[in-house]
Amino acid sequence: MTRTLIWLPLLLFLAFFGLFASGLLKPDDHLINSRLVGQPLPAFSLPAAASDRPALDSTEFATGKPRLLNIFASWCVPCAAEAPQLLALKQAGVEIDAIAIRDARPDVDRFLTRYGNPYTRIGLDARSTVQMALGSSGVPETFVVDGRGKILHQHIGDIRADDVPDILKIVKDAR
């Protein structure tokens, strides 16, 4: 009894060691399965954030066609880095709407002139209230919403070039 018992601490430690090693060796996935995935988009209605794009209302997402909802801000550096990928998605035929967080219309206009405008509609969320309701914690973030207003996927952080095919696939599957 005691003979085996004295090896128990070492065995326990080896089990923990295995756990740690597996945790370390596993590639880190930054995909966070948001609780809102599978849920309908929360209802909101936002004023227009840019001079040449209409305002954004949550009802626009129930029009039968899947679309992206990009959360960005003109003051956000990764958002500028993400712009080419969004343009690429737009060219691939994906409709993109956006919410500008804590922004001002002249700033958004300047940002869009500079980095391109892939957006159909842009809503201004001056106090981050809609962002909070979406369970989004930062900019940029992108949601894939199906044709009935249900959130299919949440991408946290900027969309890199190698993320584009994945997102395209999710949108295509939803059609």
Partner 1 sequence: MIAEAGLVALWLAAALAFLQLALAWFGLVGGKDELLEAMRPVAVTQGVLTGLSFLLLITLFVQSDMSVALVATNSHSMKPWLYKVAGTWGNHEGSMLLWVTVMGVAGGAVALFERALRRDTHMATLGAQAAISLGFYAFLLFASNPFARLETPPPDGQGLNPLLQDPGLAFHPPTLYVGYVGLSVAFSFAVGALLTRRVDAAFAKAMRPWVLAAWIMLTLGITAGSYWAYYELGWGGWWFWDPVENASLMPWLAATALLHSATVLATRDALRAWTIMLAVVAFSMSMVGTFLVRSGILTSVHAFAVDPQRGTFILGLLALYIGGALALFALRIGTVREGQQFELVSRETTLVINNLLLTVILGLVLIGTLYPLMTEAFGHKVSVGPPYFDRIVGPITLVLVMFMAAGPLTRWRKDRAKAVGTRMLVPAIVLVVAFVALGALAWGRMGILPFLGLTVAAAVAVGSVAPLWKRNLRRTPLFNWGMVIAHLGCAVSLAGMASDSAFTVEKLVAAKPGDTISTAGWTLHFDRIVPVAGDNWTALQGDMTVSRGNGAAVAIHPQSRFFTNPPTTTTEAALLTRWDGQLYVVLGQEAEQGRWQMRIWWKPFVTLIWLGGIMIALGGALALLGRERRGWVMKIRKRRAMA
Residue of 1, 28, 52, 162 that binds partner 1 (CB under 8 A):
28
Query: DSSP states of 82-132 as a string?
Result: HHHHHHHHHHTT-EEEEEEES--HHHHHHHHHHH----S-EEEETTSHHHH
Task: Output the smallest distance, CB 132 to partner 1, in A.
Answer: 11
From 24-32, 116-124, 148-156, 158-166, span contacting partner 1 (CB under 8 A):
24-32
Number of residues that bind partner 1 (CB under 8 A): 21
Is 64 a binding residue for partner 1 by CB under 8 A? The answer is: no
Quick check: helix, strand or coil at residue 150? Answer: strand
Phi, psi torsion values for 140, nearest 5 degrees:
-85, 155
Binding site for partner 1 (CB under 8 A): 2-3, 6-7, 9-10, 13-14, 16-17, 19-24, 26, 28, 33, 127-128
